[in-house]
Amino acid sequence: LAEVSELEKASNAKVDEASFKGGSIEVTGLNMAYGPLDVLKGIDLRVAPATVTCIIGPSGSGKSTLLRCLNRLVEPKGGDILLDGASILAMKPETLRRRVGMVFQHFNLFPDHTALENVMLSLTKIKGLARDVAEKLASARLDDVGLASRAHYRPSRLSGGQQQRVAIARALAMEPEVILFDEVTSALDPELVKGVLNLMADLGRRGMTMVIVTHEMGFARRVADQVVFMDEGRVVEAGPPDAIFDAPQSPRLKRFLAEVL
Ligand code: ADP
Ligand code: MG
């Protein structure tokens, strides 16, 4: 009986969890170059609120550059990006980074700070919250990613998967409308990949808008509302997972899938 009520509590907790206010993104005619090298060549992309978009494609096709444009870690050469209908090119970078979170392949945690402090830092530094408020929020976000018991560990004492969860908690703490993920499981030991993917799937179910660059085709098929195939700086094909994986149209996507599946 005690067990049953514990289970019930756990499932109620899930239902009670606040869902996110997922934002929309609309990219039109986006161009980006590194010096003379044209990397994005007229990207059009729509991401509806509270949906998961997975971006796939060969190395060097411009996937990371597209994500970097979405929160202006790099500046596009032309085109526009709307967040909830407003151009991000007219926004202050600090405002944008608060509204659009990003998680990287290498977690970029501060090694000399605990998990809790890593999540708190952006709250005190970027959001300007008082320490005690930041600490409460940061604890709650670590709890969300299943790491309440590791709050006072430094990154070096956490597994790669746990470090990636801290990075996700840090992104969540800013209460973004969109989170961008760039190959966040690529550096993880195989046995740690599933936990991080499950956490991302869970965020998707709770209504977070997510744009995910990934090599995990099974995950893309299972979780994505939309799969986008990029090659040589262009969106070659985009659609629901069934269409992309079971009925690819272009020779390039067919070739890519034959190589990775
Ligand atoms: P992907 O993430 O799909 O592997 P990237 O967006 O990282 O692709 O890279 C797209 C192209 O831009 C590649 O040809 C890459 O070599 C080039 N590139 C990426 N970052 C830089 C940079 N900082 N400076 C110059 N060229 C870059
Ligand atoms: Mg990349």
Say how many Å lie between the CA of residue 228 and the centre of ligand 2: 14
Q: Which helix (H) or strand (E) holds 39?
A: strand 37-47
Out of 32, 40, 64, give the residue to mutate to test ligand 1, the one with the largest number of ligand atoms within 8 Å of its CB.
64
The mean of the pLDDT values for the chain is 93
| Residue 79 main-chain phi, psi, to 5 deg | 90, -175
pLDDT of 12 strictly over 60: no
Say how many Å lie between the CA of residue 235 and the centre of ligand 1: 16
Say how many Å lie between the CA of residue 60 and the centre of ligand 1: 6
pTM of the model: 0.93
Nearest CA to 119 among 133, 106, 225, 105? 133
Most confident of 13-17, 33-37, 105-109, 122-126: 33-37
pLDDT at 16: 41
Angle at 254 between CA 193 and CA 64, to 5 degrees: 50
Lookup: tokens for 119: 């999540």
**What lines the ligand 1 site, CB under 6 Å?**
34, 37, 39, 57, 59-65
Predicted interface score ipTM higher than 0.90: yes
Nearest CA to 232 among 66, 79, 78? 66
Nearest CA to 220 among 210, 212, 230, 209? 212
From the CA of 232, which ligand is nearest? Answer: 1
Lookup: tokens for 236: 């070659």
Out of 65, 214, 260, give the residue to mutate to test ligand 1, the one with the largest number of ligand atoms within 8 Å of its CB.
65
Distance CA 230, CA 101 (A): 22
pLDDT digits (tens, 9 = 90+) for 15-70: 345 589 899 999 999 999 999 999 999 999 999 999 999 999 999 999 999 999 99
pLDDT of 13 strictly over 70: no
| Burial profile 179-200: b = 16 or more Cβ within 10 angstroms, e = fewer | bbbbbbbeebeeebbebbbebb
**What letter does residue 235 receive in the DSSP assignment?**
E
pLDDT at 11: 43
Say how many Å lie between the CA of residue 60 and the centre of ligand 2: 7
